[in-house]
Chains A and B, each alone.
Chain A
Amino acid sequence: MPDGHTSIKQEEQARSSLEPPDFELVARVRSGNESAFEELFNRHRRRVSLIASRFFRQREQVEEIVQESFTKAYFALNDFYNEQEASFAAWLARIAYNSCYDELRRQKRRHENALSDVSEEDAAWLEDNLRAGGAEGDVEGTAVTRDLADKLLSRLSAEDRMVLVMLDAEGLSVSEIADSTGWSVSKVKVRAHRARASLRRVLQRFL
């Protein structure tokens, strides 16, 4: 698991002994206490922001996803019944992933015919990296690589991108992805297989 998630878990553990659990806050919101929702928002805003930042580069987009997710959660609070601690976080994460997925699909529709160009330099970089067995340097972190990665991933379908980010960047297991998206385990497996094949095709086009 990446560092962001570990620290979130530590925060949750430290908080749990002192403050009312999430399900109690949910019950208060249901009974009309709006400040309890603000408390829930403050507890989980970071987690939702980090989920959104896996899929979107711009801060405005991330904030949009945060607002969208919490708005959906607010109006769906009556559907939240599981009273186990930490289940609210999982429920909210599921809403956040679905919001990201919806936004990816909208983006895909908007940019269907506006393919961002991969320059010759980018293609050369890809080829060098491939020849080096994908082990050349630290791929993460450089702005150029991020741009290129973004250009390439924008050519994948929303489902493919979603499943690849959850597998490779979030480090989630197939069953965790199934829980988070509401897809079946077999659908996740098939989707992951197809997503890898799609990404291979996209990469091959530039080599």
Chain B
Amino acid sequence: MTGHKKEHGMNERLDQLGRKLVRAAADNEEVGEAAASSSFLYTRLRARINSERARREERERWRALFGVVWRAVPAMAIVTLLAFVLFLSSTFGRSVGSYTDEALFGARDAGVERVVFASDRQPLSSDDVLATILNDEERGNLR
């Protein structure tokens, strides 16, 4: 109990001394007054404002450039990706696709039948087509 009181008393004295030291350190009014009345202070301030303005403008320019790049990069990436997908799909479509130009736009007996049976890539004669149709009809009649 006595020890606690002693410590409390010590702390109070330290606080008092601390307060006085803080006040002593902050007792600097004459320097403040001198600084306030210093000549050309406003001129120096204007110079500082102007240089700060120039710095901010420069920073704004960089920011604008960065903004353009920031928007342009994803847009360019999307365009590139689309182009790549188109390229892939066209290549893929050509290699797997079963319809050749000849099948679609064949000069001989162009018609639906030729397109349908063009998957084996052998030109069909009119007789082949007629035989197929007749076969189909016979099968239908049998049913």
Contacts and interface: CB of A to CB of B under 8 A. Distances in A.
A180 interface: no
A153 B32 contact: no
Interface stretch (A14-22, A47-55, A80-88, A103-111): A47-55
A124 interface: no
Contacts, number: 139
B76 interface: no
Interface in A43-66: 45-46, 48-59, 62-63, 66
Contact of A196 (B15, B27, B49): B15
B28 interface: yes
Contact of A53 (B21, B22, B29): B29
Interface of B: 11, 13-29, 31-36, 38, 41-42, 44-45, 48-49, 52, 56
9 contacts: A66-B41, A67-B48, A140-B24, A168-B19, A199-B15, A200-B11, A200-B18, A203-B17, A203-B18
Interface of A: 2-4, 38, 41-42, 45-46, 48-59, 62-63, 66-67, 70-71, 74-75, 126, 129-130, 133-135, 139-142, 145-146, 148-150, 152-153, 164-165, 168-170, 196, 199-200, 203-204
